[in-house]
Amino acid sequence: MLICEDISFDIDGQKLFSNINLNIKPQKDLLITGPSGVGKTTLLSILCGIQKPTTGKITYNSIDLYNLPENKIDEFRGKNLGVVFQNFNLINTFTVKQNLEIAVSAIDTKKSIPFFNILDRVGLANKSHIKVANLSIGEKQRLAVARAFVGDPKWVFCDEPTSSLDDKNANIIANLIKEESLRCKASLVLITHDSRIQTLIKFSKILKLGDE
């Protein structure tokens, strides 16, 4: 279970958001919406252990995330969380398959990873040896989703996964995220200001940021 208690974040002494309390049960989904600039991406970074909050506490199955040493936070993120970043954060000089392999090497897992099956599920099986720089936006998004789910994470965070896509591709990505979350039995936290997403995925909880 993911519990956030009284999360707040200041930038240069000014509050971006405060007193955010969340409680996400296993295999439940949370949609965080709100207009641009309210701190959705910052909140996601805080939940993922990338950005320390100004105040508050985040616990994953009773592990206090920011109480861990920094190295352990990185390792925890690699082993338990999957993240789809808004701008993908793929390594452009690597091939599609290498981007998955490097993500797996961070986990230090001993089980063999069926890369072909994963790429097949996201429709990139025939592009495994193509460099990321040569992929379209839709393909990059699919690869980012595949990478987030490659280690079978228990919590998955997606930041604006459909905002830059047309309806067709948005539909594909939303379905992909939904299917992969079910396959991994993962809790999904999705951040977006894209109103189409609610018609594509049914969320058990919705948090609207910017609503005072």
> Which residues pair with residue 74 across a beta bridge?
none
Nearer to another protein, 54 or 198 (CB): 54
Closest to another protein by CB, 103 vs 190, is 103
- Closer to another protein by CB, 68 or 201: give it: 68
Q: Give the contacts of 86 (CB within 8 A, at least 6 positions apart).
A: 41, 159, 160, 163
Cβ at position 5, least distance to another protein in Å: 22
Q: How far is the CB of 85 from another protein (least distance, A)?
A: 7
CB nearer to another protein: pick between 172 and 191: 191
| SS3 category, 54 | coil
Contact footprint for another protein (CB under 8 A):
45, 48, 50-51, 70-72, 74-75, 77-79, 83, 85, 87, 89-91, 93, 102-103, 106-107, 147
CB 195, min distance to another protein, A: 25
CB of 74 to another protein, least distance (A): 4
Residues 81 and 25: beta-carbon distance below 8 Å: no
* Min CB(122)–another protein separation in Å: 17
> Quick check: 22 and 43 in contact, CB under 8 A?
no
Buried b / exposed e over 65-100, threshold 16 CB at 10 Å, is beeeeeeebebbbbebbbbbbbebebeeeebbbbbb
Give backbone dihedrals phi and psi of 106, rounded to 5 degrees, phi first: -70, -30
Q: Which is nearer to another protein, 28 or 79 (CB)?
A: 79
The rounded distance, in Å, linking the Cα atoms of 150 and 147 is 5
